[in-house]
Amino acid sequence: MLKNLFTKLEGYYDEMISIRRYLHQHPELSFQEYNTAKFIQEYYEKLNIEVIGQVGGNGVVAKVYGKKPGKTVALRADFDALPIQDEKDVPYKSLVPGVMHACGHDGHTATLLVLAKTIYELRDELEGNYVFIHQHAEEYAPGGAASMIESGCLEGVDVIFGTHLWASEPTGTIQYRTGPIMAAADRFELEIQGKGGHGAQPHKTRDAIVTASQLVINLQQIVSRKVNPVDAAVVTVASFIAENAFNVIADKVKLTGTVRTFNEELRQFIEEEMERIIHGTCYASGSSYQFDFIRGYPAVVNHEKETEFLIRCAQFVSEVQTIEETEPQMGGEDFAYYLEKVPGTFFFTGAKPKQGEDGYPHHHPKFDIDEKAMLIAAKTLGSAALNIHKE
């Protein structure tokens, strides 16, 4: 059966490329993916596959029922784009100014659509049921996963698998990890209110820039001096905004940034420690402040049994040359919410372009993928979906 699946996927590879390139030319931002969702839903409708739109927002869920009894397996792909100008010189360059698929979500969608089509054609020979979750708004918290779950996309699901096309790794590579594989991704906003004045009379002011500068340094002590060195954590101050003339001492400064952690206890500790340091630094300078810690996605924590199973399934894919354990990634992913509800695993599929260069990282204006990785991703996900009934 797996051989039939792989053969069909290979036959539909050109269609997979066509879908990916169409989506690449017509990207839509998080929570604005109306045409993309319509495209996905209409694809299923033309195949007479059961499909539901507007799931938890712009989400789309399709279902295929095997003829024989078995488990219900869910496969997920995201489909939102980023506010980045596409700078690639390719025929499928984004046609939308300032918006592009710079993270591979177009490839995720094309992979899952064609895989669903293939599984549907084999349904009379298959066991169990298959749920295809097309998720909107992965790139921007609160994301689309939580609302889709609330709308019932995981009802009856026994196990879930997802992959991310990973342009930093060679095509033919599958990377996995048991336990935490991607970090909780939180952000913070901090506004410091001092007392402005003339640049020549600092003694009559409470300089918000000086206070903010001290905070940038003080906040770095959380990870370097408060967190156990064996625990990974990041506190990044990413922006420092104080608009004034050259001879004016600022009365207000805004800092924004992100915090990344892998366990809930450390996540809570850093939030509390930030508040303590901010309070003390501002008290010392006589300034007031407004601090908002905005929780994003929790950490992606893979289940051991399902991760080991995925490794075995990847071995059936001839194009997979390397299966390796990866280090935890500090990037965030709202696939975490699915794994909090049902067993499963999230893995990386190598997709580095083969143009004789290192390629560009995710979220770069010239980001691209090796499209062959989509076929590998489809076969790996398909292998897991079909073999899960033997477990």
Catalytic residue annotation: 80, 138
- Burial per residue of 113-130, b for 16 or more beta-carbon CB atoms within 10 angstroms, e otherwise: bbbbbbbbebeeebebbb
Distance in angstroms (rounded) separating the CA atoms of residues 152 and 84: 32
Confirm if 314 and 274 have CB atoms less than 8 A apart. no
Distance in angstroms (rounded) separating the CA atoms of residues 166 and 376: 12
Amino acid 40 reads I
Q: Is 164 known as a binding-site position?
A: yes
CA distances to 29, 364, 381, 391 from 108, rounded to whole Å, are: 16, 18, 11, 26
Q: Is 324 known as a binding-site position?
A: no
Q: Is 105 known as a binding-site position?
A: yes
- Which pairing describes strands 344-350 and 159-166: parallel, antiparallel, or unpaired? parallel
Q: Is 103 known as a binding-site position?
A: yes
Q: Tokens standing for 386?
A: 């079909």
Burial class (CB in 10 A: 0-12, 13-18, 19+), 207: buried
Q: Is 198 known as a binding-site position?
A: no
Residue ranges for the known binding site for Mn(2+) are: 103, 105, 139, 164, 363
Residue ranges for the known binding site are: 103, 105, 139, 164, 363
